A and B are shown apart, each in its own frame.
Chain A
Amino acid sequence: MRHFSEVCALMRRKNKKQYALLAGCCFFSVLLITAYVCMMRAPTVLNVLPEGGDSRKQVMMIFALAVIGCAVFTTYAAGLFLRQKSRETGVLLALGASRAQVWGELGRELGVLSLGSCAAGAALGGPLAWVLWQFFRLAVVDSEEMRLTFDPSAYVLSLAFSAFVMVMIFFLGRRSVKRTNIIDIVQESHKSEPIRDVPRWYGPVGIVLLALGGFLGYMSSSFFILVLHWYPPEGLTAVFYVPALIGLYMILLHTVVNGWNGKKKLYRDLIATSQMRFQGRQTVRNMLVMTLLIAGAYFGSFYAPMLGTGSMMGYDRRPVDYAYHFRADQDIPLEAEVRALAEEYGVTITDFAAVPMLRLAVDGNDHIEEEGPVGTTWRTEYLEVLNSNLFLSASGYEALTGERVDLAPGEIRGVLDAEGTALGFRPDATLLTNYLTKERLAVTPLEPLRYDSLFERYVMNDGDFARLGAGLPDEWRETQVCFNVENCAGTYEFAKALFNEIVDRSTLDVAQFDGWDPVVRDRDIAKDGFYFLDRENCGSAGFTVIDYGQRDSSAFRLDWQYMPEFRILDKMDFVKTLAVFLILFVFIAVVCFSAVFVIAYTRCMTIALTNAKVYDDLRHLGASNAYLRRSVRGQVKRVFLVPALVGTGLIYAFYVMIMYFNGSPAGITSSEAAGLLTALAVIAAVSALMVGVYRLTLAQVCRALGIRR
């Protein structure tokens, strides 16, 4: 052995476990990030995540979380690696190796290691995403729109992350060699970073801050918009979450340093506690990342079951099996044709009702946004002709629902859904206008009705209906059809055929986005020269362009203004049309949870590696196997349990809060309660998995330390 590089090779062999750990960490984090990016940037997925929509924001937020998590975690791994390497580096420097010489070798090692592992991670990330996706397709649901396509630009983000990992490792490596105090370098690996004493009030105050931050963060945007009439700049509301983050940090600090169960058990936990303390800030930072990742992962995993139970309950709750409406100028199947088609499919229609509706302009407060010195603010302005709604006559309502409504002339009632949620619809019109004849009628809105299939419509007095409707052309009239069938569950083929027939016979005039309103359109065009929901503008405004060729896509089914509501069709196609959502969020959860598991596992193995000597000494001092086991379990448990408990509790509380405040009036509806229960089931399943990983890790750590089971 005569060359410096040979010495380095020998040392590499000695430390191969540490090299493997660092390489593994880099590989894993780049792999996860790449897989996530590939998924997130896939056109398949982007299609179902509307630009600027909440779900895309959530996906981006969790992605940011995953990136931060992986970045912290690789930085930690690199720091640990260099720490363990620093004694060797210091000895070489002390014996007169120049920094250039040492850095030459170390830099090359780090270069090869990081380049290799990052490249492998980036290369396998795409295939991993694809394999996972295929697995879900096979296991859950398959449909044409589920075909995963990749966008090569995804790799830009993946490369950026790899670049970060490499630059970070290089930077830390360079810094570790650069220091002038050689004795410090030699002794670095023995040094620990103790945390200063943490007052006991940190725990309770942390909890208060956490709750406060969560509440403030969530409520601040409604406060700004609803109370101050001001649209805060993007990111400002995030500031209100900061107390939550600080609170979380305080809680973890308190847990690591003081523990929650007073001073009673100090002796028994002495070793676990003091060792945790001496691993210092890193431990707390690691736990913080794990907690946030767990919370993010749950946030992702709740999405699907919440949406699923909510929608399914909604379909079941519908009072009629089949409901559809169409503009009077459209040639859409009516009773005779529907019955003929039903016969063809062997379906028995039990009752059938088709009633006319009018599209009338209503008054209300217009919402006007203004750019000013403080950003975007808004004010309201009362307009006698604000927008339009569909109106049923009282007798028409009775024909459809069987429910008798007595309305005197000049009285109207809006229709909410069965749970009484308004979802942006305020049934409080006081002035109705026939948009073409300009005939007007002042009305009094009474207590709203509740009927799912007629949501957002009004009911009015029969005489008013006839008078105000006089002279209204077909484009302003619609027909509402409701019917029931025998054995609804067995009528999927019929439902599908009728749906296709309706779509096929609809003209392009009615290929409109839900919410397209001719009254608003006229006003917008008069003012700005264009209407953002017109077909030619929809796309650029970020709304679905309704295309009859895409009738099975989730976008079409969610957003077409005349989408029929056929219970069996919606139910059967629900999983399919929303599968992309479901799987995307499940995928995100899988990514986040695997990151959590890997972080926890490496963290615990590090404890084992760095404390091997302590446990040896304890054994020589006569500590029993049971004592050592308890001590190890205490440490491993803390690494797992604290983030799991805090993260889970945190996100569940947050979800309950969202569910409570999201509708008006505030409260938990039955479908939300069902969703929350399903979320509990998800928690139970994931927690069981976590316990499994915890056991496995504990066994591994015990084996590494030579402690018997």
Chain B
Amino acid sequence: MLTVENLRKSYQVGKTSYEVLKGVSLQVETGEFVAVMGPSGSGKTTLLNCISCYIPADSGRLCLGKTELARLDEDALAEVRNKQLGFVFQDFLLLDGLTVRQNILLPAIIGGLVSDMTEARADQLCEVFGIAGIRDKYPAEISGGEKQRTAVARALINHPLLILADEPTGNLDSKSSRAVIRSFEQAKSALEATIFMVTHDSYAASFCDRVVILRDGVVWRTLEKGATEREKFQDLLLDAVREMGRE
């Protein structure tokens, strides 16, 4: 579904350039639920931004299914972003002038296909994430966790095939976190959606099929869940994180 090969990205600050991604390669299968972990500043957000072509990568190959993203023109890329991808941004990026419900509907409106069914789905997503009560409020009037849930709901509205989520549970209590994870799992089972989620939270990561750990700009280690129990997998993840910290 998603192939990343030898991806490199550096930022230019003044005259010096900082290499953040130093050749990242990974593969995500259709219907897989993958988490990306790594210390703060290790380039997780940068990786997501490169995958969605929000920022240009220096080199490397990015394929979504059989299409190579670098080959697409602007309009086709926009179409892919709108119809096939769903984003949850680390800082949410909600529009201040729209209500929670309007924000959730935004990708559908951009795509030009809002039916009664879409609106019903928006309301249903509000129910699922416990934000039905605030759906007519504006972003300035809701809490950080509520914004995050709104952002997740927005990512799901167009039934995306690939969900790219940057710490979707970062601001949430365990109950809300679970609601987010469950909705990802639902998307996965109902639509064969693929989920690629950045997280610091080993609890959230323990629900995934596979966890990729980034360090110093490369993939440091990949942990497969396989048949491991969730609690056991979480312990393994914690061990790995601890080990990384020691080195």
Task: Tell me if chain B binds chain A.
Answer: yes
Residues of A within 8 A of B (CB): 1-4, 6-7, 10-11, 13-15, 87-88, 90-101, 180-184, 186
Set A98, A101, A183: member contacting B55, Cβ < 8 A: A183
Query: A3-B109, A10-B97, A182-B55 are contacts. A95–B102 as well, Cβ < 8 Å?
Result: no
- Find the A residue at minimum CB distance from B160: A96
A91 to B88, CA, bound (A): 12
The reply to whether A98 and B107 form a contact with Cβ atoms under 8 Å apart is no
Measured CB to CB, the closest approach of chain A to B15, in angstroms, equals: 12
The interface stretch among B72-80, B175-183, B224-232 is B72-80
The interface stretch among B21-29, B110-118, B189-197, B234-242 is B110-118
A183 to B50, CA, bound (A): 10
Q: Given the complex, which residues of B lie within 8 Å of A180, measured CB to CB?
A: 56
The reply to whether B74 and A15 form a contact with Cβ atoms under 8 Å apart is no
Measured CB to CB, the closest approach of chain A to B10, in angstroms, equals: 14
- Find the B residue at minimum CB distance from A92: B110
- Find the A residue at minimum CB distance from B84: A96
The reply to whether A94 and B54 form a contact with Cβ atoms under 8 Å apart is yes
- Find the B residue at minimum CB distance from A5: B109
Q: Given the complex, which residues of B lie within 8 Å of A97, measured CB to CB?
A: 78, 82, 110
- Find the B residue at minimum CB distance from A186: B93
A184 to B54, CA, bound (A): 9
B202 part of interface (Cβ distance < 8 Å): no
A187 to B89, CA, bound (A): 13
Query: A88-B95, A183-B54 are contacts. A96–B109 as well, Cβ < 8 Å?
Result: no
A662 to B112, CA, bound (A): 73
- Find the B residue at minimum CB distance from A9: B97
Q: Given the complex, which residues of B lie within 8 Å of A181, measured CB to CB?
A: 54-56
**CB within 8 Å of A: which B63-79 residues:** 74-75, 78-79
Q: Given the complex, which residues of B lie within 8 Å of A7, measured CB to CB?
A: 95, 98, 102, 106, 109
The reply to whether B75 and A96 form a contact with Cβ atoms under 8 Å apart is no
Q: Given the complex, which residues of B lie within 8 Å of A98, measured CB to CB?
A: 74-75, 78-79
Interface CB pairs A-B, < 8 A, 23: A1-B109, A2-B114, A3-B112, A3-B114, A4-B109, A4-B112, A6-B109, A7-B106, A11-B95, A88-B97, A90-B93, A91-B93, A95-B107, A96-B81, A96-B82, A98-B74, A98-B75, A98-B78, A180-B56, A181-B54, A182-B55, A183-B49, A184-B55
B33 part of interface (Cβ distance < 8 Å): no
A97 to B110, CA, bound (A): 6
- Find the B residue at minimum CB distance from A88: B95
Q: Given the complex, which residues of B lie within 8 Å of A2, measured CB to CB?
A: 109, 114
A156 to B44, CA, bound (A): 57
Q: Given the complex, which residues of A lie within 8 Å of B52, measured CB to CB?
A: 94
A297 to B79, CA, bound (A): 55
A99 to B82, CA, bound (A): 13
Measured CB to CB, the closest approach of chain B to A7, in angstroms, equals: 6
Q: Given the complex, which residues of A lie within 8 Å of B80, measured CB to CB?
A: 96
- Residue-by-residue, is B104-133 near A (CB-CB < 8 Å gives 1, otherwise 0)? 011101111010000000000000000000
Measured CB to CB, the closest approach of chain A to B74, in angstroms, equals: 6
A87 to B29, CA, bound (A): 33
A4 to B114, CA, bound (A): 10
- Residue of A1, A93, A100 ringed by the most chain B CB atoms within 10 A: A1
The reply to whether B97 and A14 form a contact with Cβ atoms under 8 Å apart is yes
B87 part of interface (Cβ distance < 8 Å): yes
The reply to whether B97 and A13 form a contact with Cβ atoms under 8 Å apart is yes
B85 part of interface (Cβ distance < 8 Å): yes
B159 part of interface (Cβ distance < 8 Å): no
Measured CB to CB, the closest approach of chain B to A2, in angstroms, equals: 4
Measured CB to CB, the closest approach of chain B to A152, in angstroms, equals: 44
The reply to whether B97 and A11 form a contact with Cβ atoms under 8 Å apart is yes
Measured CB to CB, the closest approach of chain A to B159, in angstroms, equals: 13
| A-B residue pairs, 4 tightest by C-beta | A96-B82, A14-B97, A96-B81, A2-B114
Query: A91-B95, A95-B110 are contacts. A10–B102 as well, Cβ < 8 Å?
Result: yes
Q: Given the complex, which residues of A lie within 8 Å of B216, measured CB to CB?
A: none
Set B83, B89, B95: member contacting A96, Cβ < 8 A: B83
In addition to A91-B93, A95-B107, A98-B75, 11 A-B residue pairs with Cβ atoms within 8 Å of each other are: A3-B114, A4-B109, A94-B54, A94-B89, A95-B82, A96-B78, A99-B78, A180-B56, A181-B55, A184-B55, A186-B93
The reply to whether A96 and B93 form a contact with Cβ atoms under 8 Å apart is no
Q: Given the complex, which residues of B lie within 8 Å of A6, measured CB to CB?
A: 109
A186 to B96, CA, bound (A): 13
A630 to B152, CA, bound (A): 44
- Residue-by-residue, is B152-184 near A (CB-CB < 8 Å gives 1, otherwise 0)? 001000000000000000000000000000000
A312 to B54, CA, bound (A): 72
The reply to whether A94 and B56 form a contact with Cβ atoms under 8 Å apart is no
Q: Given the complex, which residues of A lie within 8 Å of B97, measured CB to CB?
A: 10-11, 13-15, 88
Q: Given the complex, which residues of B lie within 8 Å of A94, measured CB to CB?
A: 52, 54, 81, 87, 89, 93
A182 to B49, CA, bound (A): 9
Measured CB to CB, the closest approach of chain A to B84, in angstroms, equals: 9
- Find the B residue at minimum CB distance from A182: B54
A96 to B158, CA, bound (A): 11
A7 to B94, CA, bound (A): 13
Q: Given the complex, which residues of B lie within 8 Å of A15, measured CB to CB?
A: 97
A558 to B213, CA, bound (A): 90
The reply to whether B87 and A95 form a contact with Cβ atoms under 8 Å apart is yes
Query: A4-B110, A182-B55 are contacts. A93–B105 as well, Cβ < 8 Å?
Result: no
Measured CB to CB, the closest approach of chain B to A701, in angstroms, equals: 22
A14 to B95, CA, bound (A): 10
A98 to B102, CA, bound (A): 19
Measured CB to CB, the closest approach of chain A to B123, in angstroms, equals: 14
A186 to B54, CA, bound (A): 10
Measured CB to CB, the closest approach of chain A to B197, in angstroms, equals: 18
The reply to whether B55 and A1 form a contact with Cβ atoms under 8 Å apart is no
A406 to B125, CA, bound (A): 114
A100 to B78, CA, bound (A): 10
- Residue of A92, A96, A184, A186 ringed by the most chain B CB atoms within 10 A: A96
A90 to B54, CA, bound (A): 10
Q: Given the complex, which residues of A lie within 8 Å of B79, measured CB to CB?
A: 96, 98
- Residue of A10, A88, A94 ringed by the most chain B CB atoms within 10 A: A94
- Find the B residue at minimum CB distance from A1: B102
Q: Given the complex, which residues of B lie within 8 Å of A100, measured CB to CB?
A: 75
The reply to whether A10 and B106 form a contact with Cβ atoms under 8 Å apart is no
- Find the A residue at minimum CB distance from B81: A96
Q: Given the complex, which residues of A lie within 8 Å of B82, measured CB to CB?
A: 95-97
- Find the B residue at minimum CB distance from A93: B78
Query: A14-B96, A91-B95 are contacts. A96–B55 as well, Cβ < 8 Å?
Result: no
Q: Given the complex, which residues of B lie within 8 Å of A183, measured CB to CB?
A: 49, 54-55
- Residue of B80, B85, B105, B110 ringed by the most chain A CB atoms within 10 A: B110
Q: Given the complex, which residues of B lie within 8 Å of A14, measured CB to CB?
A: 96-97
A615 to B97, CA, bound (A): 23
Q: Given the complex, which residues of A lie within 8 Å of B105, measured CB to CB?
A: 1
Query: A7-B98, A96-B78, A96-B85 are contacts. A101–B110 as well, Cβ < 8 Å?
Result: yes
Q: Given the complex, which residues of A lie within 8 Å of B81, measured CB to CB?
A: 94-96
Measured CB to CB, the closest approach of chain A to B82, in angstroms, equals: 3
Measured CB to CB, the closest approach of chain B to A100, in angstroms, equals: 7
- Find the B residue at minimum CB distance from A14: B97
